[in-house]
Amino acid sequence: MSFDQSPQYRPLIFGVTRVKLRDGAPGTHYLQADQPLLPYPERMTDRLKHWAETAPARTFMARRVRQPDGSLGDWRHVSYGQAWQTARRIAQAILDRGLSVERPVVILSENSLEHALLSLGCLIAGVPFVQTSPAYSLISQDYDKLRHVINTVTPGMLFASDAARYGKALQAVATPEMELVLVEGELSGLASTQFESLCATPETPAVDAAMAATGPDTITKFLFTSGSTKLPKAVINTQRMWCANQQQMVQSMPVLAQQPLVLLDWLPWNHTFGGNHNVGMVLYHGGTLYIDDGKPTPALIQETLRNLREIAPTVYFNVPTGFEAIAAAMKADAQLRKTLLSRVQMFFYAGAALAQPVWDSLFETAEQEIGQRIVMTSGLGMTESGPFGLYVTSPELKAGDLGVPAPGMQAKLVDMQGKTEIRYRGPNITPGYWRAPQETAEAFDEEGYFKSGDAVKWIDETDIHLGLKFDGRIAEDFKLATGTFVSVGPLRARIIAAGAPYIQDVVLTGLNLKEVGAMVFPTQAVRALSGLPADTSMHEVVDSAPVLEKFQQVVNELAKSATGSANRIARLCLLADAPTIDRGEITDKGSINQRAVLTHRADTVAKLHADELHYILKPQA
């Protein structure tokens, strides 16, 4: 179904624009798309085989080759035909070793061609793979989360891209029962196998037999949740989940099948957004994925911009900090504007709130360059939902809008604690957590709906077909000492918008206290605002007069629009130390973990509310 839209946008069809709503028990409602889920394959390897046979020369993935000096050179391409043949040989090597769901493959690596090929080999062999966060190996000092992964899944094989970078982690967690596979280098005192030897394994009829034995209930991978104050859980991902979710995506986003799909993407594969949503999309539609070794960080964003000057994606996915950097760069970079906007049909963001000035900048640049805006889209999903769950229905998207359920998935809206929780049931929902029966039982309600913990409300109560918008995480909301509830999600978004482009994220404080406080993680843009030299420490930057003056203005403006103690920021401080993945304060895709930040920075919270910090900004009349 198409949606009539203003000619100011590059045309985009929205696949689901109407929903069905029915009432249940008091305080309970059920929402679903008004169209059924169409048939989908039993396993993702069927799609890989199809494209290998019908378009063997088409590029499946490409990545720039890293030079001896560390720089990145030309693109190395792997075609569908090459991927299919190499993955089959890897599958044979996996079968030869007797690996299984009880002894799967754990991957310690960033996104890479070898990483992708090993994953495909596991899919063909019917053996799960476990993509771990590189931070568990490269940033962590104690390797506790990596050990937790190992202890949970008991792997028979550990894979790492190179011995030099991953050696310490491997030395810390490897046991004699695990075969180590390396792309580059060797480890002193630990026997290892070269990845190339897996790729050279002669295949036998056992490969086809193994693939034929897989089906909708076969486990493809274990994806670990980001974890906050608790250790991450291993989310079971099945062939049914992955395939159904890809069909749900294309029915919601018809653009995916309207032309040859090209992605340029940095999103980590150990996260469901990058590894399920985007890699699955490419496999399902025979698209091409260019692996971006950049990231939306000051040190790596230039690599992303370099790639976007050369590769023109047909759809583009990123987190808000990535779009912020791209929007700023496009203002002065003609080649970036020309290439990125040449054929991109839509932008898609997830992970956090996107500030309105970033939207405005992207729209303004596109209108100047091509005479039309590129539609910005979004939705709601999680590791346990495949991840695609809700998707918007209109180009007139506003921050926080989530849209309507994907075909084939039922959403249950349950009133609780003064909010409405959304719960999910459908073929894209995980059967549970691996080797965690209690956590699995607690995650589902009496009707088998997965309890997301996300709160939603109607975009427009008079028109349910517009769908839902985000209303925060129920577990993040808290009460002041007065008994007043603080709705964290909407208030956080309001603060980020008021302080754009200087606020990366915000953590709200005030549990069982009289006032709401805000701890702000600033963006790198505050450096220019401060007027200090580029090598000045962030501690000095956030203490500078221009930065404090700007944030005092933000606090004052927020106070003017506050309607009560629950949405009035009574005190605010700036945090010079960025949130860390190692402590679970930030996820791989860049979204903040409120609970983890509050736990690890409890001393700062106490001092903020006791007026003991060096600078505390409060509303001024």
Q: In degrees, to the nearest 5, what angle opens at C-alpha 283 toward C-alphas 73 and 220?
A: 110
Flag whether pLDDT at 602 surpasses 80.
yes
pLDDT, residue 501, reads 86
Please tell me the least confidently modeled range out of 91-100, 108-117, 138-147: 138-147
The DSSP output letter for 278 is I
Q: Is the dihedral of CA 103, 106, 112, 114 positive or negative?
A: negative
Distance, CA of 150 to CA of 154 (rounded, Å): 5
Flag whether pLDDT at 465 surpasses 60.
yes
**Mean local confidence (pLDDT), 69-87:** 96
**Mean local confidence (pLDDT), 570-578:** 94
Distance, CA of 18 to CA of 88 (rounded, Å): 43
For 286, half-sphere exposure in the C-beta direction (CA atoms, 13 angstrom radius) is 18
| Phi, psi (degrees; rounded to nearest 5) at 517 | -115, 165
pLDDT, residue 304, reads 98
pLDDT, residue 165, reads 95
Distance, CA of 218 to CA of 45 (rounded, Å): 12
Residue 48 burial (10 A CB sphere; 0-12, 13-18, 19+): buried
Distance, CA of 236 to CA of 151 (rounded, Å): 16
pLDDT, residue 580, reads 76
**Mean local confidence (pLDDT), 431-444:** 97
Cis peptide, bond prior to residue 501, ω within 30 of zero: yes
**Amino acid making up residue 140:** S
Flag whether pLDDT at 4 surpasses 50.
no
pLDDT, residue 582, reads 63
Flag whether pLDDT at 590 surpasses 70.
no
Flag whether pLDDT at 182 surpasses 90.
yes
pLDDT, residue 70, reads 87
pLDDT, residue 463, reads 96
Contacts of 194 (CB under 8 A, 6+ apart): 181, 182, 183
Q: What are the residue ranges of helices labelled H in 60-112?
A: 80-96
Per-residue pLDDT of 242-278, as tens digits, reads 999 999 999 999 999 999 999 999 999 999 999 999 9
Distance, CA of 585 to CA of 573 (rounded, Å): 17
Residue 219 is encoded by which pair of tokens? 């486990």
Residue 392 is encoded by which pair of tokens? 């918007």
Flag whether pLDDT at 63 surpasses 60.
yes
**Mean local confidence (pLDDT), 17-30:** 97
Contacts of 77 (CB under 8 A, 6+ apart): 59, 61, 62
Pairing state between β 129-131 and 105-108: parallel
Contact yes or no for 263/313 (Cβ under 8 A) = yes
pLDDT, residue 466, reads 96
Flag whether pLDDT at 228 surpasses 70.
no
DSSP 148-201: HHHHHH--SEEEEEEHHHHHHHHHHH--TTSEEEEEE--BTTB--EEHHHHHTP
Across the chain, which distance is largest between two alpha carbons, in Å? 79
pLDDT, residue 3, reads 42
pLDDT, residue 474, reads 84
pLDDT, mean over the chain: 93
pLDDT, residue 481, reads 85
pLDDT, residue 6, reads 54
Categorize the per-residue pLDDT at 7 as very low, low, confident or very high, splitting at 50, 70 and 90: low
pLDDT, residue 594, reads 83
* Residue, of 228 and 48, whose pLDDT is higher: 48
Residue 346 is encoded by which pair of tokens? 């839509």
> Whole-model pTM?
0.88
Residue 605 is encoded by which pair of tokens? 């919270």
DSSP 434-449: TT-HHHHHHHB-TTS-
Categorize the per-residue pLDDT at 581 as very low, low, confident or very high, splitting at 50, 70 and 90: low
Categorize the per-residue pLDDT at 97 as very low, low, confident or very high, splitting at 50, 70 and 90: very high
* Residue, of 225 and 215, whose pLDDT is higher: 215
Per-residue pLDDT of 274-307, as tens digits, reads 999 999 999 999 999 999 999 988 889 999 999 9
Distance, CA of 319 to CA of 340 (rounded, Å): 16
Per-residue pLDDT of 472-493, as tens digits, reads 888 888 888 877 888 888 899 8
Residue 31 is encoded by which pair of tokens? 């929402």
* Residue, of 88 and 565, whose pLDDT is higher: 88
| Nearest in space to 59 (alpha carbons), one of 5, 127, 137, 113 | 113
| Nearest in space to 269 (alpha carbons), one of 115, 80, 156 | 115
